[in-house]
Amino acid sequence: MLLDIGPDIQPRAAICDKGYASKANRTAAKARGIAPVIPHKANEKDKPKFFAWTLYKARARIEQGIGRIKRFKRVALRCEKTARNFRSIVSFAAGLCLIKFVHTA
């Protein structure tokens, strides 16, 4: 199930891709008070007219950022054995990505 994250976590929105576009996921999210931001499939019936495209675009940006960090071989292959070292490498890679993003002409 998409929302099996624990009872103590209360997100405001569940942002997913079309792979999670089922009625069960939408009703489970609404039952927990979470706004489902899942695009409807083309063959789905009873599509609502409104869709939160701004939130969905933010999801794409996050995925692109993670993909950019995974270009670093040590991050992608999980070469670091401990969680602390892996966190350090991910932070370092994110810092390099940020520097490159800020200093592009």
The per-residue pLDDT for range 81-103, each reduced to its tens digit, is 999 999 999 999 999 999 988 87
pTM: 0.61
Domain ranges of the chain: 1-52
Rounded distance, CA 69 to CA 64, Å? 9
Is the pLDDT at 68 greater than 90? The verdict is: yes
Question: What is the maximum alpha-carbon separation in the chain?
Answer: 49
Instruction: Determine how many CB atoms are found less than 10 A away from the CB of residue 29.
Output: 21
- Nearest CA to 32 among 6, 69, 60, 58? 6
pLDDT at 55: 87
What lies within 8 Å, CB to CB, of 15 at 6+ separation is: 37, 38, 55, 56, 58, 59
Rounded distance, CA 105 to CA 97, Å? 15
For 13-51, the pLDDT digits (tens) are 888 888 888 888 888 888 888 888 888 888 888 787 888
